[in-house]
Structures are given as structure tokens and as C-alpha cells.
């Protein structure tokens, strides 16, 4: 197998390496306010595209049936947005007793309070034969709840 054939078969991996290399050489392109405008393209366009593509793969009946599982949605949202952040908070209190950098702890706290990424939640649920429609709904609804809560907190802090 020649080099061209190997690169063609591993195009995704080669693309990731190229993008990371380019980002290292020209970080200003992807920075806030840069030419790619990540504050708009990632926040709105990329997330909307992921939800749209995920929704296209579902039948209307599947999505309707998934919306009726209220207990499931309550469990997932409570676990994701209440139980897990609380467990992380207790874990970080233990880690704070060690010599770990406080900024690392703040980063872990931030990540621990976020809902799982849409693509990960849907792909992993699909891989194990779970309810893909429910995963899409919970991921979208969790992101909506988090965004609404953050906006409310920012409004409350600034008023």
C-alpha cells in the first residue's frame, strides 16, 4: 500500500493533524473575534447543525414517543445537572486538600457542571442500542437549560 493510498484511507486522522498544526501556527484565526468568529459559528451554527443532522436521522414517531418518557427525562436532567455536579463538587473538595493547582480545580468544576456534548451523548447511546431520540432530546434540553440558567445568572449579577 503506497503513501497516497494510506493517506486516502486515513483522511480523517490526517485532517485532524493538519487542523491542529494550522491552529498551532495561526491561533489568531480561531480566537474570539478572529476571522472564523467562533463566538457565532460554534455557539449557534455548529450546535444547530448537529441538532438538525441528528433530528434528520429520526422518524417522527420515534421523536414523539421519546418525548412521552417524562420520568426518563427527569432522571437524566437531574442526574446530569444536579447529582453529577454535586458529586464533582465533593470530589474537588477532597482534591483541594492536595497540592493540585487551583486553576485545574476550577476547570474541573466548570466541566463537571456542563451537560454532555450532543454528539457524544447521541453516538454513545446509539452504539449501545439505546433510545437515540431520547438522547437527542435530553442533550438539546440540557443545553437549553444550562444556557437559560447562565443567562439568568448573568442578568441577575449585572442588575
| pTM for this prediction | 0.59
pLDDT digits (tens, 9 = 90+) for 2-60: 888 888 888 888 999 999 999 999 988 888 888 888 878 877 788 778 777 777 777 77
Alpha-helical (H) ranges within the chain are 3-9, 11-25, 38-40, 47-56, 60-67, 70-78, 84-95, 102-112, 118-127, 132-158
Amino acid at each position: 500500500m503506497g503513501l497516497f493510498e494510506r493517506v486516502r484511507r486515513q483522511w480523517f486522522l490526517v485532517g485532524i493533524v493538519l487542523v491542529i498544526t494550522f491552529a498551532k501556527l495561526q491561533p489568531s484565526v480561531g480566537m474570539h473575534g478572529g476571522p472564523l468568529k467562533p463566538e457565532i459559528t460554534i455557539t449557534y451554527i455548529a450546535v444547530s447543525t448537529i441538532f438538525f443532522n441528528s433530528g434528520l436521522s429520526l422518524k417522527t414517531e420515534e421523536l414523539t414517543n421519546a418525548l412521552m418518557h417524562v420520568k426518563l427525562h427527569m432522571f437524566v436532567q437531574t442526574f446530569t445537572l444536579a447529582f453529577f455536579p454535586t458529586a464533582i463538587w465533593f470530589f474537588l473538595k477532597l482534591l483541594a486538600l492536595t497540592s493540585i493547582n487551583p486553576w485545574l480545580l476550577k476547570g474541573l468544576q466548570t466541566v463537571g457542571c456542563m451537560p454532555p456534548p450532543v454528539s457524544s451523548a447521541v453516538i454513545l447511546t446509539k452504539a449501545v442500542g439505546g433510545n437515540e431520540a431520547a438522547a437527542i432530546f435530553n442533550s438539546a434540553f440540557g443545553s437549553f437549560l444550562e444556557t437559560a440558567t447562565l443567562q439568568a445568572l448573568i442578568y441577575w449579577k449585572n442588575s
